[in-house]
Amino acid sequence: MAGARAAVRYAKAVLSLANAQNQADAVNNDMKLMATTIAESQELSDMLNNSVIKVEAKKAALLAVFPNLNAISTGLFDLLITNKRISILNDIAIKYSDLYDTLNGKEIAQVTTAFPLTKDLEAKVLAKVKTLTDKTVELQSIVDETILGGFILRVGDKQYDASVSNKLNKLKREFTLN
Whichever domain contains 40, its CATH number is 1.10.520.20
Q: How far is CA 33 from each of CA 60, 111, 169, rounded to the nearest angstrom? A: 17, 22, 39
Single residue among 102, 127, 151 that ends a domain in this structure: 102
Q: Residues 111-152: pLDDT tens digits?
A: 898 889 888 888 888 887 877 777 888 888 889 988 888 888
Higher pLDDT, 14 or 158: 14
Contact between 157 and 102 under an 8 Å Cβ cutoff? The reply is no
pLDDT at 177 over 80: no
Single residue among 71, 102, 133 that ends a domain in this structure: 102
pLDDT at 2 over 60: no
Model confidence at 79, in pLDDT bands (50, 70, 90)? Answer: very high
Contact between 38 and 89 under an 8 Å Cβ cutoff? The reply is yes
95 and 112 inside one domain? no
Distance CA 46, CA 66 (A): 17
What is the widest separation between alpha-carbon atoms in the chain? 64
98 and 117 inside one domain? no
110 and 173 inside one domain? yes
9 and 97 inside one domain? yes
122 and 163 inside one domain? yes
DSSP for residue 70: -
Q: Residues 51-74: pLDDT tens digits?
A: 899 999 999 999 999 999 999 999
163 and 117 inside one domain? yes
Helices 42-49/89-103 angle, 10° precision: 110
83 and 125 inside one domain? no
pLDDT at 106 over 90: no
Predicted pLDDT at 120: 86
Strand runs labelled E in the chain? 106-113, 136-143, 151-155, 158-161
62 and 122 inside one domain? no
* Torsion, Cα of 34, 39, 45, 46 (10° steps): -170
Distance CA 6, CA 85 (A): 9
154 and 137 inside one domain? yes
72 and 29 inside one domain? yes
Single residue among 71, 86, 102 that ends a domain in this structure: 102
Q: Mean pLDDT lowest for which of 2-6, 65-69, 70-74, 78-82?
A: 2-6
How much of the chain is helix, strand and coil, in % rounded to 5? Answer: 65, 15, 20
* Number of domains, the chain: 2
Percent of the chain at pLDDT > 90 equals: 52
Predicted pLDDT at 178: 63
Pairing of strands 136-143, 106-113: parallel
Q: Residue 29 sits in which domain range?
A: 2-102
Distance CA 178, CA 49 (A): 50
